[in-house]
Amino acid sequence: MSERDGDGADAERDRAATVDAIVDVVADSAEDIRSGLVGRRGKAGRENPSGEVQAEADVYADDLLEERLSAIDGVAEYASEERADVIDCGGSAADPDAVAVAVDPLDGSSNLEPNNTMGTVFAVYDEPLPAPGTSIVVSGWVLYGPITTMALARDGTVTKYELSGDEPTVVEEDVTIPDDPLVYGFGGRVPDWPDDFADFARAVESDPSHKLRYGGAMIGDVNQVLTYGGIFAYPALDGSPRGKLRLQFEGNPIGHLVETAGGRSSDGSRSLLSVEPNELHDRVPLHVGTAELIDRLEATLE
């Protein structure tokens, strides 16, 4: 997958067609996932590879996306936050222009009980997984809010869609994160924050121009930061120095989309896209938002 042979133009065309098919499947599956949440808010009786108890809806969304995405010609690998190993999608792995899809099928499933926002996060990588965020071709998320929407980063630009009709409706093109930070949301528990992050958080919170917005699902909180400007962080914790969120399925796609929209991402010292993965389910301290606040964060954590 990582070698390129044959005519470059053909290769690009083939890969673009594969990416089109992936985006179509994720968009077309949104209503099936959304409607499938009903009756699946309970626990599935097993844990994901990160040791978190799965909701029935986590398993449902993952099975649905694995079946549909792995059937696409050109998709060589499927991986998800809910599965221990990368799924080899068969014959397409022989295609030198194949891609790998990494999915957080239902981000924020802890929001099922309070019926708060959740989403599906995905990234298309052009090399085998685990892979650094620099190899992402397309990233995006679907948000199951009052309206089902999608944000997509492709070819250097971010587009927002509404998914309520038969076809996705473009609602905003060339989306850029506002320069002036307005909202902030920090995950984890305050007593578990390292002192340097706690100092940064206090400085952000004490700024009268900032407003707290934390919904408990990274994707809803990040979408607010993309919309209003600000910062979302799930930092390193005293008991978990790599934080909680996963690099392949959350940090990389979120970092790629926010950076494509003119924002910045950081693990505390570098872009999330520059973090070299060791394992498929590596965790990463995740900070994304307006450049001003990420600069201030990195200065504080030095």
230 annotated as ligand-binding: no
Cα distance between residue 237 and residue 202, in whole Å:
16
Q: Residue 66 Cβ, how far from ligand P6P at the closest point, in Å?
A: 19
Closest CB to ligand P6P among residues 114, 165: 114
Interface with ligand P6P, residue 187, by CB under 6 A: yes
Helices (H), the chain: 8-36, 56-69, 195-206, 218-228, 252-260, 291-301
Nearest CA among 261, 167, 166, 259 for reference residue 286:
259
166 annotated as ligand-binding: no
Closest CB to ligand P6P among residues 184, 234: 234
The first and second tokens of residue 192, run together, are 């578990």
Q: Residue 28 Cβ, how far from ligand P6P at the closest point, in Å?
A: 23
Cα distance between residue 39 and residue 143, in whole Å:
19
- Residues whose CB falls within 8 Å of the CB of residue 159, separated by 6 or more in sequence, listed in order: 151, 152, 170, 172, 173, 174, 175
Interface with ligand P6P, residue 103, by CB under 6 A: no
Give the distance from CA 215 to its chain's centroid. Answer: 16
Q: Residue 233 Cβ, how far from ligand P6P at the closest point, in Å?
A: 10
Exactly one of 125, 144, 161, 234 binds ligand P6P (CB under 6 A); that residue is 234
Considering only residues 189 to 228 of the shown chain, the ones binding ligand P6P according to CB under 6 A are 216-218
Closest CB to ligand P6P among residues 244, 287: 244
Using an 8 Å Cβ cutoff, are 287 and 235 in contact? yes
108 annotated as ligand-binding: yes
110 annotated as ligand-binding: yes
Using an 8 Å Cβ cutoff, are 204 and 187 in contact? no
172: exposed, middle or buried (Cβ count in 10 Å: 0-12, 13-18, 19+): middle
Cα distance between residue 20 and residue 4, in whole Å:
20
Interface with ligand P6P, residue 100, by CB under 6 A: no
Cα distance between residue 40 and residue 57, in whole Å:
5
Closest CB to ligand P6P among residues 19, 123: 123
The first and second tokens of residue 283, run together, are 């965790």
Interface with ligand P6P, residue 285, by CB under 6 A: no
Exactly one of 66, 77, 107, 259 binds ligand P6P (CB under 6 A); that residue is 107
Q: Closest CB to ligand P6P belongs to which residue?
A: 218
Q: Residue 256 Cβ, how far from ligand P6P at the closest point, in Å?
A: 17
Q: Residue 216 Cβ, how far from ligand P6P at the closest point, in Å?
A: 6
Q: Residue 74 Cβ, how far from ligand P6P at the closest point, in Å?
A: 29
Nearest CA among 203, 280, 273, 190 for reference residue 235:
190
Interface with ligand P6P, residue 251, by CB under 6 A: no
Interface with ligand P6P, residue 145, by CB under 6 A: no
Exactly one of 19, 48, 59, 108 binds ligand P6P (CB under 6 A); that residue is 108
Would you tell me the crossing angle of helices 218-228 and 252-260 to the nearest 10 degrees?
Answer: 10
Closest CB to ligand P6P among residues 97, 250: 250
Cα distances from 234 to residues 2, 86, 90, 243, 298, in angstroms, run: 32, 25, 36, 7, 14
Q: Residue 244 Cβ, how far from ligand P6P at the closest point, in Å?
A: 6
Binding site for ligand P6P (CB under 6 A): 107-108, 110, 187-188, 216-218, 234, 244-245
